[in-house]
């Protein structure tokens, strides 16, 4: 096998991993702070991609402004969803949150499928990132390099913000003991709303970045979210670094499988999940509670 | 007579279907240190939780310097000037000692400075970087009290601060409470240990079955040391 094939698949794996990491990080944060499994996360990612496409198609707004505007708008939408819908489910069995977000995902997906069908809407690679560079052992399309780099930077910045700042300490406190945190004066309902909004913004950011790679497709979210759930389980439900690292790791594992045994590429993540659940039920980076 | 800092009137509290507080009445004046005593299950913790807005359902009246707290969410109650130390101390394991300490927003002017806190709790200073739960029980208790002080609250609610601690640590906490009293803090503390209670508090409020059943000051307690036993004995 040639180095080109190997590194090509590794790059593809890393691209997928970049999206896995962004989405699983958001899911892990939401699970920690709201205690719900957000089934709509993939749908938010899909809406992010469509929003970028819509901005370009109807308003002639390009990729770079979209990369800022779409996460902002989707973050606000996410806060609305939390205030109007999820807040009412607080304190109930987490199953209600899962069902509500599952319903929301179906509604969003169904709406986009109704309007745009199941085929993707093409979205161009921004001009500045067209073409690629020859690295000697492989050809690196610039846009793909950008996706990987931007994802790593955003994941790292989010992780640092949560683990190393005063605001992050508040978030960790709310994750651990919301009642005590609130009795110490933290505005917990506001923190919860903002957290959900930021996690949705992350998903939308991933969606905008995905549009030039995968097109804007109504089904892109549900295709991705199942794998992302597996990523979160493998990383360990409560662990942010686990969500990020297993996102990239599993993307790479998928890429490797495509090289060495292509038929298993689509199931390798789930096989790993099954093995991890048997050997370390709390996940690779999770703390057993 | 100094004004009442905290007045609780006809306070009822529920956990779901179970009605645990039945018209609790008491009030605390500025600068007083008052204990809440009573058997396990008498409703002491629930009373503090009701004041902080942490009980699922409560009714009646809780006034902080005349301001009604019923209906406010817990963070607004805390910011109105109450420092709370829960019975399990509420130390966050995922936060360092320094982060635990810095967590509450400063709601009131005139909070103790970091230097004053360090002087009052020298053991915490050495452990700033350790995770909150790597501390001993006594250190965790000190951290919880220091954290409550950092808000600037002048009224402290402490739920069994001496429970499970070695006698020498209990003495240190007693000294801290007397120091706070001399600085003019108002303290309501739940306490099972009558000797400790008498050594730090001015007055004792006795609860039984979700009601206040007696109230006495230290002179009355000294005159009739058996008066509490009836409510505390087995
Ligand atoms: N979370 C809860 N759910 C239901 N009942 C509770 C809960 N916490 C306490 N209780 C009940 O409320 C009553 C008062 O308890 P508590 O306030 O903890 O008493 P104390 O602090 O004086 O020991 C007890 O009968 C106890 O069983
Ligand atoms: Mg108690």
Q: A238-285 pLDDT, tens per residue?
A: 788 889 999 999 999 998 898 888 888 889 999 999 999 999 888 888
Q: A57: domain range?
A: 7-219
Dihedral angle sign, alpha carbons of residues B141, B144, B150, B154 = negative
pLDDT tens digits in sequence order for chain B, 234 residues long: 567 899 999 999 999 999 999 999 999 999 999 999 999 999 999 999 999 999 989 999 999 999 999 999 999 999 999 999 999 999 999 999 999 999 998 877 777 888 888 888 888 888 888 887 788 899 999 999 999 999 899 999 999 999 999 999 999 999 999 999 999 999 999 998 888 988 999 999 999 999 999 999 888 888 887 777 777 764
Torsions phi, psi for B14 (to 5 deg): -135, 145
Nearest to A68 by CA among A244, A209, A167, A211: A209
Round the average pLDDT of chain A to a whole number and report it. Answer: 92
The whole-angstrom distance between A181's CA and the closest CA on chain B is 8
Higher pLDDT, A54 or B129: A54
Residue A246 lies inside a defined structural domain of this protein: no
Closest ligand to the CA of B159: 2
Quick one: pLDDT at residue B33?
Answer: 96
Quick one: pLDDT at residue A208?
Answer: 97
The whole-angstrom distance between A100's CA and the closest CA on chain B is 24
Q: E strands along A80-128, which residues?
A: none
Q: Is the CB of B173 under 6 A from ligand 1?
A: no
Q: Are strands B203-208 and B57-64 parallel, antiparallel or unpaired?
A: unpaired
Quick one: pLDDT at residue B227?
Answer: 79
Q: Is the CB of B205 under 6 A from ligand 1?
A: no
Q: What is the mean pLDDT of residues A103-112?
A: 95
Most confident of A29-43, A62-76, A260-274, B192-206: A62-76
Q: Is the ipTM of this complex over 0.90?
A: yes
Beta bridge partners of B131: B96
Quick one: pLDDT at residue B234?
Answer: 47
Quick one: pLDDT at residue B233?
Answer: 63
Residue A34 lies inside a defined structural domain of this protein: yes
Beta bridge partners of A40: none
Residue A287 lies inside a defined structural domain of this protein: no
Domain count, chain A: 1
Residue A130 lies inside a defined structural domain of this protein: yes
Distance CA A289, CA B132 (A): 17
Banded pLDDT at A7 (limits 50, 70, 90): confident
Domains of chain B as residue ranges with CATH: 32-54+77-232 (3.40.50.300)
Atom 24, ligand 1: residue with shortest CA distance: B41
Residue A182 lies inside a defined structural domain of this protein: yes
* Per-residue CA distances from A136 to A49, A132, A139, A255, A278 (Å): 33, 12, 7, 20, 42
Residue A254 lies inside a defined structural domain of this protein: no
Residue A249 lies inside a defined structural domain of this protein: no
Quick one: pLDDT at residue B15?
Answer: 94
Closest ligand to the CA of B36: 1
B50: nearest CA in chain A?
Answer: A183
Contact B95 A172 (CB under 8 A): yes
Residue A161 lies inside a defined structural domain of this protein: yes
């Amino acid at each position: 096998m040639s180095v080109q094939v190997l590194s090509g698949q590794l790059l593809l794996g890393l691209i997928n991993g970049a999206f896995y990491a962004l989405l699983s990080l958001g899911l892990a944060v939401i699970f920690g702070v709201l205690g719900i499994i957000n089934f709509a996360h993939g749908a938010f990612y899909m809406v992010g991609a469509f929003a970028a496409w819509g901005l370009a198609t109807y308003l002639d707004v390009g990729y770079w402004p979209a990369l800022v505007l779409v996460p902002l708008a989707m973050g606000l939408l996410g806060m609305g969803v939390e205030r109007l819908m999820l807040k009412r489910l607080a304190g109930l069995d987490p199953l209600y949150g899962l069902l509500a977000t599952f319903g929301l995902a179906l509604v969003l997906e169904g709406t986009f499928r109704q309007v745009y069908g199941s085929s993707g809407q093409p979205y161009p690679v921004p001009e500045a990132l067209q073409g690629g560079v020859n690295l000697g052992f492989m050809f690196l399309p610039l846009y793909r390099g950008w996706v990987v780099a931007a994802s790593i930077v955003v994941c790292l910045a989010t992780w640092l913000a949560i683990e190393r700042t005063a605001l992050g300490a508040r978030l960790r406190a709310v994750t651990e003991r919301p009642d005590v945190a609130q009795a110490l004066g933290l505005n917990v309902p506001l923190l919860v709303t903002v957290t959900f909004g930021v996690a949705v913004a992350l998903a939308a950011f991933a969606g905008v970045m995905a549009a030039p790679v995968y097109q804007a497709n109504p089904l892109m979210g549900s295709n991705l979210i199942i794998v992302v759930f597996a990523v979160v389980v493998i990383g360990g439900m409560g662990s942010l670094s686990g969500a990020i690292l297993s996102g990239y790791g599993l993307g790479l594992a998928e890429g490797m499988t495509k090289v060495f045994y292509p038929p298993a590429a689509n199931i390798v993540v789930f096989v790993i999940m099954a093995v991890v659940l048997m050997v370390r039920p709390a996940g690779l980076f999770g703390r057993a509670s | 007579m100094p004004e009442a800092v905290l007045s609780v009137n006809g306070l009822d509290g529920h956990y779901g279907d179970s009605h645990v507080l039945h018209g609790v009445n008491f009030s605390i004046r500025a600068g007083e240190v008052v204990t809440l005593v009573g058997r396990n299950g008498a409703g002491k913790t629930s009373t503090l939780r009701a004041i902080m807005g942490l009980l699922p359902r409560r009714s009646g009246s809780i006034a902080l310097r005349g301001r009604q707290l019923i209906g406010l969410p817990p963070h607004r109650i805390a910011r109105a000037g109450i420092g709370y130390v829960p019975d399990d101390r509420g130390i966050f394991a995922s936060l360092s000692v320094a982060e635990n300490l810095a967590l509450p927003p400063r709601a009131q002017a005139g909070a103790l400075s970091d230097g004053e806190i360090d002087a009052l709790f020298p053991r915490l200073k050495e452990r700033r970087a350790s995770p909150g739960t790597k501390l001993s029980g006594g250190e965790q208790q000190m951290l919880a009290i220091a954290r409550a002080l950092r808000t600037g609250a002048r009224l402290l609610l402490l739920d069994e601060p001496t429970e499970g601690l070695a006698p020498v640590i209990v003495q240190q906490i007693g000294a801290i409470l007397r120091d706070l009293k001399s600085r003019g803090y108002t303290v309501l503390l739940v306490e099972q240990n009558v000797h400790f209670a008498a050594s730090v508090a001015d007055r004792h409020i006795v609860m039984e079955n979700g009601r206040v059943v007696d109230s006495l000051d230290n002179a009355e307690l000294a005159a009739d040391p058996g008066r509490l036993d009836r409510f505390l004995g087995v």
